[in-house]
Chains A and B, each alone.
Chain A
Amino acid sequence: MRWAVQAVWLAALNPWGLYRVGGVCLPVLNCHGCPIAATTCPIGAFGNMLDLRVVPFLVLGSWGLVGALVGRLPCAWACPFGLLQDLFAKLRFIPRWRPPRWTSALKYAVLVGMVLVAGLTVGSASRWYFCGICPAGTGTAGIPTWIRYGLAVPSIRLVFLGIFLAMMLFVTRGFCRLACPIGAGLALFNRFSLWRLRVNQGKCVACGLCRKVCPMGEDPAAAANGEECIRCLDCRRCPERAIGLGMSNVPAKDAGGG
């Protein structure tokens, strides 16, 4: 089910010039420098508007609205880069490393340092702004433009593309966990968003299956809706049906059916 939704979003966000959606800035990593993209990347638009000394109301508003409604759910269901990482995770012969929890804080440092501070000080054209190392920008816009128009891609971007690809290979959802500033922004809403995980502790038998299948390394039964939860709902494989998705003000007793 999730694969199908991700595929639909991938096609909808990149319609090969069939349409562009004006006024829409979705909080997913899909570079608007890519000629086939239909919407605007919030990180790119944020920096562009700061360059113009304009407060990016549109970006902040759309980011906040999606976060308040569903938290990090777009990371699992809509982000094309998330889909790529899920495909990498299917390569079962590659050993996976589970990074320590503190490394999750790196993405907040990226959000503050390479988006907010860099955007306000050196501008989005700087190599210090996130777009300068963004793997989606390099992979879906920089390299195609290089091939088609001969515009060279700076080597530092290729180096970071390699680093991020390696990160994704050896850490499941590694980019989401460690580096994605969009996910970091959405994560701030996870604990109080309208739609979120509901766990019925009365049904939970602490079998640990939900922790085992969670791509983000979370333990949904112990701490549902933590900052890392992307609402992929893989934890709903729970044999006791103790985990579900529901609205924030609904009591948890029906979680299994949600």
Chain B
Amino acid sequence: MTRNWQLPALVLALLVSLVLLGYGAFGQRVPVKERQASGAIVQHDTGGLALVDKATLHTIATPQARPEIQRAITEAPAPSPDNAPATSGVPGCPT
């Protein structure tokens, strides 16, 4: 049998989640953040960040995001040997 607390908990969880999801998807603005190294870090359209460079641009960016990403790449500082490995320490980057 469903316990007394389960249905209210379910309804509450659904409502809170929908509000958070709705605001996160449609209302929230996330600033674009650029980073150093060989590529640039730009905002995912999901709110996350991605490491991009000219080689991977076509694989990780939506067409709408490409001009913005391209601009971020061209404005990013040139890679330096001091940064090697180039992407170490970059948020969201698995390397």
Query: When the two chains form their complex, are residues A65 and B18 in contact, meaning their CB atoms are under 8 A apart?
Result: yes
Q: State which residues 54-71 of A face B: CB under 8 Å.
A: 54-65, 67-69
Interchain CB contact (< 8 A) of B62 among A22, A45, A63:
A22
Chain A: CB-nearest residue to B49:
A48
Chain B CB within 10 Å — which of A31, A41, A151 has the most? A151
Q: State which residues 211-258 of A face B: CB under 8 Å.
A: 248-249, 251-252
Residue B78 at the chain A interface, CB threshold 8 Å: no
Chain A CB within 10 Å — which of B16, B49, B85, B92 has the most? B92
* Stretch from A94-102, A103-111, A136-144, A165-173 that touches the partner: A136-144
Chain A CB within 10 Å — which of B10, B85, B90 has the most? B10
Residue A17 at the chain B interface, CB threshold 8 Å: yes
Query: When the two chains form their complex, are residues A40 and B20 in contact, meaning their CB atoms are under 8 A apart?
Result: no
Query: When the two chains form their complex, are residues A49 and B20 in contact, meaning their CB atoms are under 8 A apart?
Result: no
* Stretch from A2-10, A79-87, A175-183, A189-197 that touches the partner: A189-197
Residues of the B chain whose Cβ atoms lie less than 8 Å from the Cβ of A60: 17, 20, 24
Q: A45-B47, A51-B91 are in contact. Are A58 and B2 (CB under 8 A)?
A: no
Residue A74 at the chain B interface, CB threshold 8 Å: no
Shortest A121–chain B CB gap in Å is 14
Interchain CB contact (< 8 A) of A57 among B14, B23, B51, B59:
B23
Q: A45-B46, A57-B24 are in contact. Are A52 and B30 (CB under 8 A)?
A: yes
Residues of the B chain whose Cβ atoms lie less than 8 Å from the Cβ of A206: none
Residues of the B chain whose Cβ atoms lie less than 8 Å from the Cβ of A193: 10
Query: When the two chains form their complex, are residues B56 and A35 in contact, meaning their CB atoms are under 8 A apart?
Result: yes
Residues of the B chain whose Cβ atoms lie less than 8 Å from the Cβ of A68: 10, 13-14, 17
Residue A113 at the chain B interface, CB threshold 8 Å: no
Query: When the two chains form their complex, are residues A125 and B90 in contact, meaning their CB atoms are under 8 A apart?
Result: yes
Residues of the B chain whose Cβ atoms lie less than 8 Å from the Cβ of A141: 94-95
Residue B74 at the chain A interface, CB threshold 8 Å: no
Query: When the two chains form their complex, are residues A35 and B24 in contact, meaning their CB atoms are under 8 A apart?
Result: no
Residue A202 at the chain B interface, CB threshold 8 Å: no
Interchain CB contact (< 8 A) of B44 among A45, A61, A191, A248:
A45
Query: When the two chains form their complex, are residues B17 and A249 in contact, meaning their CB atoms are under 8 A apart?
Result: no
Query: When the two chains form their complex, are residues A48 and B47 in contact, meaning their CB atoms are under 8 A apart?
Result: yes
Chain A: CB-nearest residue to B23:
A57
Interchain CB contact (< 8 A) of A151 among B9, B14, B60, B86:
B86
Interface residues of A (CB under 8 A from B): 17, 20, 22-25, 31-37, 39-41, 44-45, 47-49, 51-52, 54-65, 67-69, 123-125, 131, 134, 137-138, 140-142, 145-146, 149, 151-154, 157, 189, 191-194, 248-249, 251-252
List, sorted by A's number, 9 A–B pairs whose CB atoms are closer than 8 Å.
A32-B92, A33-B95, A49-B30, A51-B49, A59-B47, A153-B95, A154-B88, A191-B6, A251-B1
Interface residues of B (CB under 8 A from A): 1-2, 5-7, 9-10, 13-14, 16-25, 28, 30-31, 33, 44-51, 55-56, 58-62, 84-95
